[in-house]
Amino acid sequence: MAGAHDARDPRSPEALSARHLLLLDEDVEPSDVIALVTNHFPALAEPVVVADADPRWGHEVLEWRLTRHSRLHGPMFVPAAVRAELGLPDWATRVFALVCPRDREPAPPPSWLTDSDGLHLFFPAGLPNREEGRSLDLLIALARRLHLALRLADEPVDPLALEAPSASRAALAAAAEAPARILVPDPEAHVDVFVYSPYWLAPDVLLDRLAEVDAGAREPDPVPPEALEKIAHLISADDPEMRDGYAIEVPLDSLGPRAGLLEIGVLVEEALPRAVAAHLESPQVMYHLRWVDTEQQRYLPEIDAELRRIRAAAALRLDRLAAEVLRLTAGIGVDQDGFLLSEHQLG
């Protein structure tokens, strides 16, 4: 993948085709993208100009340094002719480009692996890992949150491989002319919500309040006594109502036998998401609200129409519960991708 010292203009088709691209439509402001990026990088530095305005390529290009080895370039306008050359959808008028090393697993993904975003289908020789894997995960998360898509960088074809006795010229030529690899993350795939707060709610208190939101909420499961040690520094040792961890469940029987249940797990968490750690010190009480379907199929790349309908209904109920937990605990909410959630975005 083109590196930070690539001499090509970052707006040129050659440079864009060599980088993973976040595709923006007209409804998404570039500032929305950067605001979400700061959830993962709270100390994100001010951008610098890496390409001046040019009549051939358009406005100047800014660079945000994510890590020592990864940068984000953009926003860049993509003319219609370049969109066609890159195989981009017509709506993708602007892009952010990821500049990072090309780090891949040394072996193909195992046959049993089913990545929820379908990356195993795009990288059959070895999944992105280390710096590229982490940076690409961020782009996928951004696309999911903003209902956008990605164009994955073209895979290089080694010209020397054409001379190898075992090489198939037809196969290599086909790889060079392969269509653009467009990845569209399912925006509804991640249902879970996490709430972090310094306030520990006793099981009966949380249950009573959640039952007012969803009448299906039921008694928490019992917890082994040995688990009490973890929270000793946060609670009164002589208070029998306190637990190190407990779960409140909301069965989803009304949605069908495949629906399973919602679970609100409560425990003390040391490792905080970056967006939370920027505001709260570790440890904090974590309220993890998740959907558990009966067949454990929710993370498959493709789920059938019935399970999609169940997931949508489960997500609505979960969001209402999460909004109540936010209100009760004065906490900070994040989604599965580590982006902040406000109360009005939930219930």
Band the pLDDT of 171: cuts 50, 70, 90: very low
- For residue 121, the model assigns a pLDDT of 86
Q: What is the mean pLDDT of residues 26-48?
A: 95
Gap between the Cα atoms of 30 and 93, Å rounded: 12
Residues linked to residue 252 through DSSP beta bridges, in sequence order: none
Q: CB-based burial of residue 39 (10 Å sphere; 0-12 exposed, 13-18 middle, 19+ buried)?
A: buried
Gap between the Cα atoms of 115 and 121, Å rounded: 9
Q: What is the mean pLDDT of residues 322-347?
A: 93
Cα atoms found within 13 Å of the Cα of residue 268, Cβ hemisphere only: 18
Across 81-90, 163-172, 252-261, 304-313, least confident range:
163-172
The predicted-structure confidence for 211-234, as pLDDT tens digits, reads as follows 999 999 997 555 555 554 554 454
Gap between the Cα atoms of 99 and 21, Å rounded: 9
- For residue 281, the model assigns a pLDDT of 94
What percentage of the chain reaches a pLDDT higher than 70? 84
Whether residue 311 is predicted with pLDDT greater than 80 in this model: the reply is yes
Mean pLDDT of the chain: 86
- For residue 59, the model assigns a pLDDT of 81
- For residue 226, the model assigns a pLDDT of 56
Question: Please, are residues 22 and 123 in contact by the beta-carbon 8 Å criterion?
Answer: no
- For residue 8, the model assigns a pLDDT of 79
Across 33-37, 53-57, 250-254, least confident range:
53-57
Gap between the Cα atoms of 223 and 226, Å rounded: 8
- For residue 279, the model assigns a pLDDT of 93
Whether residue 340 is predicted with pLDDT greater than 80 in this model: the reply is yes
Gap between the Cα atoms of 11 and 76, Å rounded: 7
- For residue 316, the model assigns a pLDDT of 96
- For residue 134, the model assigns a pLDDT of 95
- For residue 5, the model assigns a pLDDT of 56
Whether residue 179 is predicted with pLDDT greater than 90 in this model: the reply is no
Evaluated on CA atoms 141, 142, 148, 154, the torsion sign reads negative
Whether residue 341 is predicted with pLDDT greater than 90 in this model: the reply is yes
More confident residue, 229 or 334: 334
Gap between the Cα atoms of 288 and 194, Å rounded: 5
- For residue 162, the model assigns a pLDDT of 42
- For residue 236, the model assigns a pLDDT of 47
The predicted-structure confidence for 134-164, as pLDDT tens digits, reads as follows 999 999 999 999 999 999 999 875 544 444 4
Residues linked to residue 287 through DSSP beta bridges, in sequence order: 195, 266
